[in-house]
């Protein structure tokens, strides 16, 4: 009798498992044109009467400016560039003119442009070779601020330009590498930061009436300016002074006192106030994704998040009247869409549909935050993308992805490249090795002057972790990265040539001696800090920098490599990739080189992304996938 009960129980348990076990389903495979048919949108400036929004979109293949009518939801193109990326900044406070920023095909020499209502445009910062940046509108809407390195290529001065005649005047001359991070609404105070090293920055407050400048911080720590209070009495900033993570501090200007306002077990990456100070918005870097908090400063209560379904809100913009709010929401398996929220009615409306109509969201993969132990026991975070139909019976090749930086972080944002790879049967593990931001200042500093060593060991342990997955073919794992991640790719292919079967180098540093000497002039205020982290190429550090530079060890590469590079890249010069490719070819290695004459540090044009990602896929299918293992 007992045996019959046990058998009956086992039978029911088996049936239950059979009923709940997820069945394999057919996953449609999409080509790169379909993935790149996704739209990328950004910005959301309200017009003066709040009837329209100004946004940027790459729907045509390159970013242009558009307006969305909020009553009809109709979108209208305002610019029609076919070569230069246009990034909208803002509507004018009292009319429908607008500002946008643009460079020359990725050279990063940004200029600020005016677009009149009749469609004509004017370069408001025309100095040749000078880089400009928008610093916000004056409180009365009669002028705006911008920074420019026209006077000194190494440092950015602050200017104010009136909208009546567009005459500009310099209001802060930067002679010692201080950067303007905030301007009080009465224009009296400037908040300044000065880099000490890549981990620390000093914080200063300049009273433009008296000319007196005071240093606010008392010890070395990271400081970032958040906002001034509406009444100009308080400066808000974030710091990790005495803590692992950045927290929000209020500095009383008159009394010179400080008060901790908001603290989390993660970095607070920004805080700002709405027009009258009714709302305080904060963004928190919470384990690779952005968490938004909106505080009603009158009730001191957090507003409940608007309902955007299974998407996650990543940024918000509150209208001047404080009755509406735009928000972006997306995820690792969904490109960000723009929504608008009404504070009174609580109604949420979606304004964009950025995922291509030809792609089913169910076929995309949600990134999973994972952690693994490195060579010394340190826990390393990562984001894992597993193909839907990968299993122990159908093993797939793997890709280790390394972010840019140094000091960057791969986050739970949508990536057409990652989804393209996963959709075509590659498992992807994005490794946030030691030295990555977002996991505390101790973790962030762990690779200082140890680059190409401890960080590479983390990456290799990431490879071992990925190889331990029963659905991954451990003999078919490659490495991919851009910028600093491209360096890590080439460092792996030269220093540990047997670890990865292929390498994908996207504008990666290969000669640190050259790169550190040829950094763009506008990085002047940051150069010494970078040297403290990486090493100074003009000192005895040059020996170590030579040793860790892949270019000088090209003869060690054994396995196939593909290199992608933009000719106008001001950070990693084309010659870096030219010489690396020559060195590998001289060694008889299979090398492919994809050069884009109209791109810089990051590929912004869809046609180039399509070509680049297609070349990567063909390369991987040829040299890595070959034939997957069954069982």
- Tens digit of pLDDT for each residue in 169-222? 999 999 999 999 999 999 999 999 998 888 899 999 999 999 999 999 988 899
Residues 276 and 147 in one domain: yes
Residues 258 and 291 in one domain: no
**Residue at a domain's end among 263, 284, 305:** 284
pLDDT for the residue 626: 81
Give CA–CA dist 159/141, Å, rounded: 15
Residues 321 and 427 in one domain: no
Q: Which residue has the higher pLDDT, 11 or 320?
A: 320
Q: Angle of helix 416-423 relative to helix 606-620, nearest 10 degrees?
A: 30
pLDDT for the residue 86: 97
Say if residues 344 and 323 touch (Cβ distance below 8 Å).
yes
Say what percent of the chain tops pLDDT 90.
88
Distance of CA 114 to the CA centre of its chain: 27
Q: How far apart are the first and last CA of the chain?
A: 40
Give a yes or no: residue 195 inside a domain.
Answer: yes
Residues 291 and 228 in one domain: no
Q: Which residue has the higher pLDDT, 18 or 81?
A: 81
**Residue at a domain's end among 284, 315, 338:** 284
Say if residues 367 and 421 touch (Cβ distance below 8 Å).
no
pLDDT for the residue 193: 96
Give the lowest-confidence range in 1-5, 243-247, 445-449, 581-585: 1-5
* Token pair 């597993």: residue: 386
Residues 118 and 174 in one domain: yes
Residues 302 and 220 in one domain: no
Domain count, the chain: 3
The yes-or-no verdict on residue 67 having pLDDT over 70 is yes
Give a yes or no: residue 23 inside a domain.
Answer: no
Q: Residue 448 has which token pair?
A: 């200082």
Exposure string (b/e) for 12-36, b if CB count within 10 Å is 16 or more?
Answer: eeeeeeeeeeeeeeebeebebebbb
Residues in the chain: 631
Residues 445 and 554 in one domain: yes
- Please report the DSSP string for 343-400 in residue order: TTT--EEE----S-TTS-GGGS---EEEEEE-TTS-EEEEEEE--TT--SSB-EEEEE
Tens digits of residue pLDDT in 462-489: 999 999 999 999 999 999 999 999 999 9
CATH of the domain at 411: 3.40.50.1820
* Token pair 């030219």: residue: 578
Exposure string (b/e) for 462-478, b if CB count within 10 Å is 16 or more?
Answer: bbebbbebebbbbebbb
* Geometric angle at alpha carbon 385, from 282 and 40, rounded to 5°: 55
Q: How, if at all, do strands 591-596 and 561-566 pair?
A: parallel
Residues 299 and 184 in one domain: no
The yes-or-no verdict on residue 628 having pLDDT over 70 is no
* Token pair 């297609």: residue: 614
Say if residues 429 and 399 touch (Cβ distance below 8 Å).
yes
Give a yes or no: residue 36 inside a domain.
Answer: no
Give a yes or no: residue 17 inside a domain.
Answer: no
Give a yes or no: residue 196 inside a domain.
Answer: yes
Q: Residue 336 has which token pair?
A: 């960000």
Residues 527 and 583 in one domain: yes
Say what percent of the chain tops pLDDT 70.
95
> Average pLDDT, stretch 260-282?
98
The yes-or-no verdict on residue 327 having pLDDT over 90 is yes
The DSSP letter of residue 174 is -
Residues 50 and 126 in one domain: yes
Give a yes or no: residue 7 inside a domain.
Answer: no
The yes-or-no verdict on residue 18 having pLDDT over 80 is no
The DSSP letter of residue 141 is S
**Residue at a domain's end among 227, 250, 284:** 284
Residues 351 and 388 in one domain: no
Bond preceding residue 355 cis, omega within 30 of 0:
no
Give a yes or no: residue 606 inside a domain.
Answer: yes
CATH of the domain at 206: 2.120.10.30
CA distances from 185 to 137, 158, 277 (A): 9, 15, 12
Give CA–CA dist 467/473, Å, rounded: 7
Tens digits of residue pLDDT in 521-553: 878 777 888 888 888 999 999 999 999 999 999
Q: Residue 469 has which token pair?
A: 């997955």
* Full residue range of the structural domain in which residue 557 is found: 361-625
pTM confidence score: 0.92
pLDDT range class, residue 629, cuts 50, 70, 90: very low
The yes-or-no verdict on residue 90 having pLDDT over 90 is yes
Q: Residue 19 has which token pair?
A: 């009923």
> Average pLDDT, stretch 117-127?
97
The yes-or-no verdict on residue 21 having pLDDT over 90 is no
Give the lowest-confidence range in 24-33, 41-50, 66-75, 336-345: 24-33
pLDDT for the residue 24: 60
Residues 246 and 128 in one domain: yes
Give CA–CA dist 312/315, Å, rounded: 9
Give a yes or no: residue 254 inside a domain.
Answer: yes
């Amino acid at each position: 009798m007992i045996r019959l009960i046990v058998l009956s129980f086992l039978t029911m348990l088996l049936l239950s498992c059979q009923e709940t076990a997820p069945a394999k389903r057919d996953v449609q495979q999409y080509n790169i044109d379909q993935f790149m048919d996704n739209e990328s949108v950004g910005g959301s400036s309200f017009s003066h009467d709040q009837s329209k929004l100004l946004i940027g979109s790459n729907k045509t293949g390159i970013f242009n400016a558009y307006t969305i009518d909020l009553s009809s939801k109709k979108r209208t193109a305002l610019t029609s560039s076919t070569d230069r990326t246009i990034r909208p900044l803002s509507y004018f406070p009292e009319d429908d003119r607008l500002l946008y920023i643009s460079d020359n095909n990725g050279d990063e020499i940004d200029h600020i442009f005016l677009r009149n209502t009749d469609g004509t445009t004017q370069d408001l910062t025309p100095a040749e070779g000078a880089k400009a940046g928008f610093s916000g509108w004056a409180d009365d809407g009669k002028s705006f601020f911008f920074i420019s390195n026209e006077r000194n290529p190494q440092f950015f001065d602050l200017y104010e330009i009136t909208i009546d005649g567009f005459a500009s005047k310099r209001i802060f001359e930067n002679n010692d590498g201080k950067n303007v991070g905030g301007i009080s609404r009465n224009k009296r105070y400037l908040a300044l930061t000065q880099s000490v090293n890549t981990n620390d920055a000093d914080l200063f407050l300049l009273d433009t009436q008296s000319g007196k400048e005071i240093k606010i911080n008392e010890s070395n720590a990271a400081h970032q300016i958040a906002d001034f209070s509406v009444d100009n009495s308080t400066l808000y900033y974030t710091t990790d002074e005495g803590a692992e993570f950045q927290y929000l501090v209020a500095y009383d200007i008159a009394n010179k006192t400080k008060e901790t306002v908001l603290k989390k077990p993660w970095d607070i990456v920004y805080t700002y106030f709405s027009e009258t100070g009714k709302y305080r918005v904060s963004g928190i870097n919470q384990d690779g994704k952005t968490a938004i908090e909106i505080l009603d400063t009158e009730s001191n209560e957090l507003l409940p998040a608007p309902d955007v379904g299974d998407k996650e809100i990543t940024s918000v913009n509150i209208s001047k009247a404080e009755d509406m709010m735009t928000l972006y929401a997306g995820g690792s398996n969904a490109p960000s869409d723009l929504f608008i929220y009404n504070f009174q009615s609580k109604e949420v409306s979606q304004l964009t549909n950025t995922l291509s109509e030809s792609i089913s969201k169910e076929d995309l993969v949600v990134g999973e935050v994972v952690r693994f132990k490195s060579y010394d026991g340190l826990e390393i975070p990562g984001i894992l993308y597993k193909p839907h139909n990968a299993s122990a019976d159908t093993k797939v090749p793997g890709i280790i992805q390394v972010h840019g930086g140094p000091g960057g972080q791969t986050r739970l944002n949508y990536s057409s490249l990652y989804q393209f790879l996963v959709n075509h049967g590659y498992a992807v593990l994005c490794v946030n090795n030691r030295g990555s931001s977002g996991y505390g200042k101790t973790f962030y500093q762990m690779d200082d002057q140890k680059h190409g060593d401890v960080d590479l060991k983390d990456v290799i342990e990431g490879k071992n972790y990925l190889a331990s997955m029963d659905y991954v073919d451990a003999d078919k794992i490659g490495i991919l990265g851009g910028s600093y991640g491209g360096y890590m790719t080439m460092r792996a292919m030269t220093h540990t040539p047997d670890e990865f079967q292929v390498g994908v180098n996207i504008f990666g540093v290969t000669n640190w001696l050259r790169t550190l000497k040829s950094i763009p002039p506008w990085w002047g205020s940051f150069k010494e800090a970078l040297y403290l982290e990486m090493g100074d190429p003009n000192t005895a550090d040059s020996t170590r920098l030579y040793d860790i530079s892949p270019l000088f060890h090209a003869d060690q590469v054994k396995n196939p490599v593909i290199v992608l590079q933009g000719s106008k890249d001001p950070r990693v010069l084309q010659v870096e990739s030219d010489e690396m490719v020559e060195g590998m070819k001289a060694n008889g290695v299979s090398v492919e080189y994809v050069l884009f004459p109209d791109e810089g540090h990051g590929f912004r044009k869809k046609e180039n992304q399509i070509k680049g990602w297609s070349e990567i896929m063909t390369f991987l299918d040829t040299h890595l996938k070959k034939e997957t293992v069954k069982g």
